[in-house]
Structure 1
Amino acid sequence: MMKTVLITGCSTGFGRDTAIHFLDQGWRVVATMRNPAANSLPMSDRLIVLQLDVTNADSIAAAIAQAGPIDVLVNNAGFGWLNAVEGTPLDTVRALFETNLFGAIAMMQAVLPGMREQRSGVIVNVSSSSLYKPLPLLSAYRASKAAMNALTESAAHELAPFGIRVRVVMPGMAPSTSFSGTAQGHVMGAGGFPEAYADYAQATFAAMMQAANGPVTVGQDVADAIFRAATDADCPAVLPAGADAVAWAKGE
């Protein structure tokens, strides 16, 4: 029987690439996004595009009701932030955790009753390869993603008796989805970046741009890793995705 994957955050970037990859493999894809008007996915009779805000309980309930039984959940929705701890408003920290962590937990809670009933299912959480290194100016963002990894590790043990697998994919830096635009805005003084950190931030930003000229992650790397996590029962619990992520995972 045709299997169904629900992917959050599909309007652009890794989510969009992953949705296309699953479609290419013959899956039924429920591609969700906060603004379906931004949908640019190719048309398919196996594609359903739904409005979903992972921070809104009513939105989650409506999407799950329309999606039907789910075989694989991909928690991809999230956003990044580049600033010093001192310059990051607490409201921004809360927003990071609401989307990057609490939204993923809410989605897991929404699909798990069905997965337990069918005694099968896979949850793939998308984290970040930035956790392999103590990168500066990413403190709040990395904290939200570190919590995602911890969540995945424990949930994998909790859910194994029900035949449910939980995996985490850790993408590297992709030029199309990097922090470059946000970073430049903060370094140039927008977004409440502390003046005292300006010189340090400029140097850090320059190093990030230089790194982006080396081995980087492309969307297909991440789509491949997520598909492997969803379909290969023997794959590692943690999968780096992209040339830079793989190198960082090896300590290079």
Structure 2
Amino acid sequence: MNTPAPPGALVTGGTSGIGRAIVERLCSDGFRTAFTGRDVARGLAVADSTGAAFIAADSTNRQAIDRAVDESLSWLRGRLDVLVNNAAIVYEGPLESTPDDVFDELFEVNVTAARRYASAAFTVMRDQHSGVIVNIASDSAITGIAKLPAYSVTKAALLSLSDVLAAEGAPHGIRCNAVCPGATHPGMRSTATGFASHAENDAHWAPAPSGRHGQAGDVAAVVAWLASPDAAHVSGATLRVDGAASAALRGVTRS
């Protein structure tokens, strides 16, 4: 009897933080996993510890994205069951003074690259008549964060992209959902403030009403559920993983 091939997953930006936690979780759940990133040393370390395949790729380079998808399909033996668009960059500063080239790069990495990866995955998943796309957005996409206005704009656009992909994918057995983490450890470091450590970054943000910052594993667990058959009828959803932070903000606003 032939043993069925394990499901295949591709995670962008999987060398650290939330991305790394997602790679680790999908591997532990039995997915044959490939992941991308720009930091070769960190990528090889994650590959060594998880057994996943690391593909060096810059999300601002269209040719690099095409190559990354081709290489991942080779590793995944031609099957792509899950795509997680996690790669992102952040910038802190007023929108009015955000340089055009910085805003363009934010949009290129946070939105355009996600669309390109999703388009490539769509072709494979449509032929399979099955597949899951998960876009890692942010609580800033829902409420906006004054410290991160340009980032908030790009993540809001990613939510819209998720809705469109869900609607277009449904007739082909493709689901798409968005996950919106709040302040999460280990967190992203702002290109403007250049925090020296994750601890310094975490101290920059207040804990959620739950009394703590989120953990990367909290987000990975939600991604794993969305990738599972248990979420077979969930598509076009936006899931907050923020310990009630955005709910509390709405409550204060309405009181």
Q: Tell me the residue number matched to 1:11.
A: 15
Tell me how far apart the structure 2 counterparts of residues 74 and 108 of structure 1 sit (CA, whole Å). 9
Deviation at 1:54, TM superposition (A): 2.1
Change (3 A) 1:82 1:43: same
**RMSD, aligned CA:** 2.7
Q: 2:166 touches 2:177 (CA, 8 Å); kept in 1?
A: yes
Q: Tell me the residue number matched to 2:39.
A: 35
Q: 1:32 touches 1:51 (CA, 8 Å); kept in 2?
A: yes
Tell me how far apart the structure 2 counterparts of residues 175 and 114 of structure 1 sit (CA, whole Å). 33
Q: Tell me the residue number matched to 1:225.
A: 222
Deviation at 1:211, TM superposition (A): 3.8
Q: Tell me the residue number matched to 1:200.
A: none
Q: 2:183 touches 2:205 (CA, 8 Å); kept in 1?
A: no
Change (3 A) 1:78 1:251: farther
Matches of residues 5-84 of structure 1 in structure 2 within 5 Å?
A: 5-39=9-43, 40-41=45-46, 43=48, 46-68=51-73, 69-84=79-94
Tell me how far apart the structure 2 counterparts of residues 247 and 217 of structure 1 sit (CA, whole Å). 15
Question: What are structure 2's unaligned runs of at least 5 residues?
Answer: 74-78, 196-200
Q: Tell me the residue number matched to 1:238.
A: 238
Structure number with the higher helix fraction is 1
For residue 243 of structure 1, give the secondary structure of its aligned residue in structure 2. Answer: coil
The TM-score, its normalising length taken from structure 1, stands at 0.83
Q: Tell me the residue number matched to 2:184.
A: 174
Q: 2:135 touches 2:158 (CA, 8 Å); kept in 1?
A: yes
For residue 186 of structure 2, give the secondary structure of its aligned residue in structure 1. Answer: helix
Matches of residues 192-207 of structure 1 in structure 2 within 5 Å?
A: none
Deviation at 1:135, TM superposition (A): 2.3
Q: 1:8 touches 1:77 (CA, 8 Å); kept in 2?
A: yes
The TM-score, its normalising length taken from structure 2, stands at 0.82
Tell me how far apart the structure 2 counterparts of residues 19 and 45 of structure 1 sit (CA, whole Å). 8
Q: Which AA in structure 1 matches 2:21?
A: D
Matches of residues 40-189 of structure 1 in structure 2 within 5 Å?
A: 40-41=45-46, 43=48, 46-68=51-73, 69-179=79-189, 182=191, 184=193
Q: 1:60 touches 1:110 (CA, 8 Å); kept in 2?
A: no
Tell me how far apart the structure 1 counterparts of residues 89 and 102 of structure 2 sit (CA, whole Å). 11
Range 55-64 or range 217-226, more displaced: 55-64
Question: What are structure 1's unaligned runs of at least 5 residues?
Answer: 187-204
Tell me how far apart the structure 2 counterparts of residues 96 and 30 of structure 1 sit (CA, whole Å). 24
Range 45-54 or range 80-89, more displaced: 45-54
Provide, for residues 158-213 of structure 1, a one-character-per-residue CA deviation record: whole Å limited to 9, x for no partner: 1100000001000111142145x656459xxxxxxxxxxxxxxxxxx9x9544479
